[in-house]
Chains A and B, each alone.
Chain A
């Protein structure tokens, strides 16, 4: 489980996660939330992580900034970032990464902003923590950043409190605060779920544009495959705490290799005739008692003898180094529908 087993990348990835397993201590015993999560993010790449609630996508993001409660969460594996392993580097090093080299925005901008400070103070805060900068300069940078995220009359808005802003403007403020230190990677966890669809379109455009213009890599965590299709270059699908597929977005949509990815895509109402029966995946996501072999096997219509064995994330690229991976040993034998057929 070290970087040697990864598909040889053309240059060193910005982020390299290997064998990440997160366990929580609960009253009912230990709960393995994720296991064997491994993936890379290249510089400037936009990766979408999709999955249903409980699949481990959010805690993977939180673990990268070491934001999990240390008393109950145990993290194993490595998170390689700029020569450091974020799983066990010193707290002091972690503080230099958090908010400065890796920024993060959350789903609910209202609970992520402090109601008693102006938005300008909150944007400037990360700057003042990480750099030696005068108050006046920090304020000027905050105004400049508000302008970059598309807030009208930023000179006035900088002194507003969060409650004076609409939901979309609050999310813009969060993006401004996350990007002001020019991080290499921005983790966005469901950044548009609380927003209306017309505002979501604005925020997704903004994220994509800022990522492209500043070469900031984006890790977008979402349950919405449409959002990934529009914003990302690669899609990582998670199920029951494991990465089950990793592919360029267009490939994943057109020709998914894992039955779960295919099932998710086919259940989207966009693709079915109006009023027709929507294809669905039978059963429920396992939570506490994980199947020993393939975790999707109890719900999988392609399950057969052999699926009860533990599944590894296999290299499935048509060409070496394409980085296409799938956790299904039968991927060459089964032909699965995607969004187009």
Chain B
């Protein structure tokens, strides 16, 4: 964990991203006021359901999506204040890996050509130097150098995901946004790829923002987790205390909805089932946006928006009642430590 005084690698304040709908009659509030820091060397997990805005956060962090409002500092630099040319140099330090390895590789380019593409674009050395570095990157992620001459269709899903990791590493980024990077992989491969991420973090001092809907993955790999719902963070804090004792009713519901692979006598008695589905981000509920599915909702939750506050050091929550004695007392304990 980084020292307190250290400057965060990314610092985001009041980030808002809005999109017009296709017919341009309404606005989708994809991110509606989110603030957080990512510390150097940590893994920051963002968990949320589809439509929560987690992918948009990831894209904004690597400059693929301009914010509608709010500020972002990358290593102290505000990207809005520098020239396009400086930005092009600056953004190399912040890379992203996407979920679908098939969509992220050009089927007509050999693997090595795909991996060296970022180096070529960055005009980083001669063609043969770029090639050598690309091959080295492939080897680093556990692929044989011959893999470079193959084409995407000749590789398995796990191998393709390794190629994408290699490609993201060629520019030696400081921050890597990983958007659902293991969702498309089979169980026995998933562990290998997660192990690779951990190893690369140790070796290169990488910082990760890990975006996923899979609680078991995010809680395994992350130092801190943010729980996102309808464009807002509901809760943020260090992994273990959050898993053991969530502060927000939504976190509690997420934890209890996760199917646990345990024999019946070791499983928690039945969970909290959330009613309905995530409302539309075009017209989110008034007040607390989780209230329509919250089993603890009170009348004032519809009228007053909860303040994002630091309840105990390092643990943030947006709920009027979080931390009050007796609130959410039927706490489910997470199934994390059965072995």
Q: Chain A interface (Cβ within 8 Å of chain B)?
A: 52-53, 166-169, 196-202, 204-205, 223-230, 249-250, 253-254, 263-265, 267-275, 277-281, 284-285, 339-341
Q: B186 and A270: CB pair below 8 A?
A: no
Instruction: Verify B221–A267 contact, CB threshold 8 A.
Output: no
Contact residues of B with A, CB < 8 Å?
A: 49-50, 156-158, 186-192, 194-195, 198, 213, 215-217, 219-221, 239-240, 253-254, 257-267, 271, 273-275, 277-278, 293, 335-339
B262 A52 Cβ-Cβ under 8 A = no
Is B188's CB under 8 angstroms from A271's CB?
no
Q: Are the C-beta atoms of A53 and B186 separated by less than 8 Å?
A: yes
**Which among B156, B257, B265 has the highest number of chain A CB atoms within 10 Å?**
B257
A201 to B49, CA, bound (A): 13
Please report the number of residue pairs spanning A and B whose Cβ atoms sit closer than 8 angstroms. Answer: 142
Contact assessment for A200 and B259 in the assembled complex, using a CB-CB cutoff below 8 Å: yes
Q: Is the CB of A340 within 8 A of B266?
A: yes
How many whole Å from A285's CB to the nearest CB in chain B? 8
* Contacting residues, chain A, for B50 (C-beta < 8 A): 167, 196
A254 proximity list for chain B (CB < 8 A): 263
| Distance between A35 CB and nearest chain B CB, rounded to angstroms | 21
| CA of A263 to CA of B239, assembled, Å | 26
Which residue on chain A has the smallest CB distance to residue B264?
A250
Is the CB–CB distance between A341 and B277 below 8 Å? Answer: no
Give the residues in chain B near A197, CB-CB below 8 Å.
Answer: 49, 213, 215, 254, 257-258
Complex Cα spacing A324 to B62, Å: 52
**Of the candidates B188, B274, B335, B339, which one forms a contact with A341 in the assembled complex, judged by CB atoms under 8 Å apart?**
B339
B260 A229 Cβ-Cβ under 8 A: yes
Closest residue on chain B to residue A338 by CB atoms? B263
A254 to B216, CA, bound (A): 19
Q: Which secondary structure dominates chain B's binding surface?
A: helix
Q: How far is the CB of B205 from chain A (nearest CB, A)?
A: 16
Contact of B336 among A169, A265, A270 (CB under 8 A): A270
Cβ-defined partner of A264 (8 Å) among B187, B219, B277: B187
The answer, among B189, B191, B262, B263, for a CB contact under 8 Å with A279, is B191
Residue among A197, A225, A284, A341 having the largest count of chain B Cβ atoms under 10 Å: A197
Which residues of chain A are near B240, meaning CB under 8 Å? Answer: 274
Of B187, B239, B275, the contact of A268 (CB 8 Å cutoff): B187
B260 with A198: CB separation less than 8 A? no
Q: How far is the CA of A197 from the CA of B158 in the complex (A)?
A: 24
Complex A-B: 15 CB contacts under 8 Å = A52-B186, A52-B188, A196-B50, A198-B254, A198-B273, A198-B293, A200-B257, A229-B263, A253-B261, A267-B187, A270-B336, A275-B198, A278-B190, A278-B194, A280-B188
CA distance A205 to B274 in the complex (A): 12
Cα(A110)–Cα(B253), bound, Å: 26
Contact assessment for B220 and A274 in the assembled complex, using a CB-CB cutoff below 8 Å: yes
Closest to B222 in A: A274
Q: Min CB distance, A286 to chain B, in Å? A: 12
Task: Give chain A residues whose Cβ lies under 8 Å from the Cβ of B260.
Answer: 226, 229-230, 270
Contact of A339 with B192 in the complex, beta carbons under 8 Å: no
A264 to B215, CA, bound (A): 18
CA distance A166 to B293 in the complex (A): 16
Within the complex, what minimum Cβ distance (angstroms) separates B318 from chain A? 18
Q: Who on chain B is nearest to A283 by CB?
A: B188
Instruction: Specify which of B187, B189, B190, B273 is in contact with A201 (CB 8 Å cutoff).
Output: B273
Q: How far is the CB of B178 from chain A (nearest CB, A)?
A: 15
* Residue from the list B156, B259, B337 in contact with A230, Cβ < 8 A: B259
CA distance A284 to B186 in the complex (A): 10
Residues of B contacting A196 with CB < 8 Å?
A: 49-50, 213, 277-278
How far apart sit A167 and B75, CA to CA, in the bound complex (Å)? 40
**A172–B157 CA distance with the chains assembled, in angstroms:** 31
One of A263, A268, A285 near B216 (C-beta < 8 A): A268
> Which residues in A have their C-beta under 8 angstroms from that of B258?
197, 226
What 3 A-B pairs are tightest by C-beta distance, nearest first? A226-B259, A278-B191, A269-B220
- Complex CA–CA separation, A201 to B260 (angstroms): 11
Q: Determine whether the beta carbon of A166 is less than 8 Å from that of B259.
A: no
Given A53-B186, A197-B49, A198-B49, answer yes or no on A269-B259 (Cβ-Cβ < 8 Å).
Answer: no
Complex Cα gap A267–B263 (Å): 17
- Knowing A196-B278, A223-B186 are in contact, say whether A202-B273 is a contact too (CB < 8 A): yes
A267/B190 in contact, CB under 8 A: yes
